[in-house]
């Protein structure tokens, strides 16, 4: 029986973001790409504004799909949720992969921690109230910054958004608040399973400097990628997920 790989998408997107690499991954895994509650038509509830509740809900979905521990991979915001699942439900996760993600997305210049400037996230949150579709498109463009194929990446990400129901505005707001406020750095040492962290060298949202501040798990850098290595270097990305780095 094939091992189960669970994929979690990033902010504003949905499970369709993985479609182009599913055939390659399915050669080794039983792949389950999940819509996080509030995204891609997955139901949203006010209680989900608490990221712990979201993590528990996704863990329940995983538990329904298989009785065996899974390989769990999360991209960007999905990596934050995947990390929480691994911390709160360690029996569900055999290996954890975080992709262009950070245990603390918000920058703290005084402490020397790299990340997203708080005003950027607060501005996006404010703009969601006036035109959330336009704000989502702008954020997708930010995700593609630095990519050698930025224009095509934006088109691909926008097509992903349109391929499934739009995200719930409350889920988008909650997601931005998680990115601004959640800090799991001290908890990484409590992970009981192997952690594999992947970064895009050209990423403007999660700069490579984040990797230099973390020591837990293995670190892989996709040298020709920005925030979406699975779009920029799909073959290398799939190899990474199917052949665990040394240190597993």
Catalytic one of 9, 35, 76, 89: 76
Cα dihedral across residues 43, 176, 34, 68: positive or negative: negative
Exposed / middle / buried, residue 193 (Cβ in 10 Å: 0-12, 13-18, 19+): middle
Catalytic one of 35, 153, 168, 203: 203
In eight-state DSSP terms, residue 176 is: H
Please indicate whether residue 227 is annotated as part of the active site.
yes
Q: How far is CA 84 from CA 14, 30, 58, 194, in A?
A: 19, 22, 10, 14
Please indicate whether residue 196 is annotated as part of the active site.
no
Nearest to 15 by CA among 46, 68, 53, 61: 61
Please indicate whether residue 243 is annotated as part of the active site.
no
The residues assigned a catalytic role are 76, 203, 227
């Amino acid at each position: 029986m094939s091992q189960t790989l669970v994929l979690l998408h990033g902010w504003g997107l949905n499970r369709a973001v993985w479609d182009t690499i599913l055939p390659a991954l399915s050669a080794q895994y039983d792949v389950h790409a999940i819509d996080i509650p509030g995204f891609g038509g997955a139901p949203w509830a006010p209680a989900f504004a608490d990221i712990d509740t979201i993590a528990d809900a996704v863990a329940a979905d995983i538990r329904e799909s298989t009785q065996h521990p899974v390989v769990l991979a999360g991209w960007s915001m999905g990596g934050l949720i995947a990390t929480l699942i691994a911390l709160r439900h360690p029996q569900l996760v055999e290996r954890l992969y975080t992709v262009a993600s950070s245990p603390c997305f918000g920058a703290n210049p005084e402490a020397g921690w790299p990340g997203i400037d708080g005003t950027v996230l607060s501005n996006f949150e404010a703009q969601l109230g006036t035109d959330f579709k336009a704000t989502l498109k702008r954020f997708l463009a930010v995700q593609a910054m630095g990519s050698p194929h930025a224009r095509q990446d934006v088109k691909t990400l926008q097509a992903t958004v349109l391929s499934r129901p739009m995200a719930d505005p409350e889920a988008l707001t909650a997601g931005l608040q998680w990115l601004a406020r959640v800090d799991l750095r001290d908890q990484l040492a409590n992970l009981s399973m192997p952690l594999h962290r992947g970064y895009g060298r050209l990423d403007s949202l999660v700069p490579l400097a984040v990797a230099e501040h973390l020591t837990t798990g293995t670190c892989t850098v996709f040298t020709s990628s920005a925030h979406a290595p699975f779009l920029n270097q799909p073959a290398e990305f799939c190899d990474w997920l199917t052949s665990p780095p040394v240190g597993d």
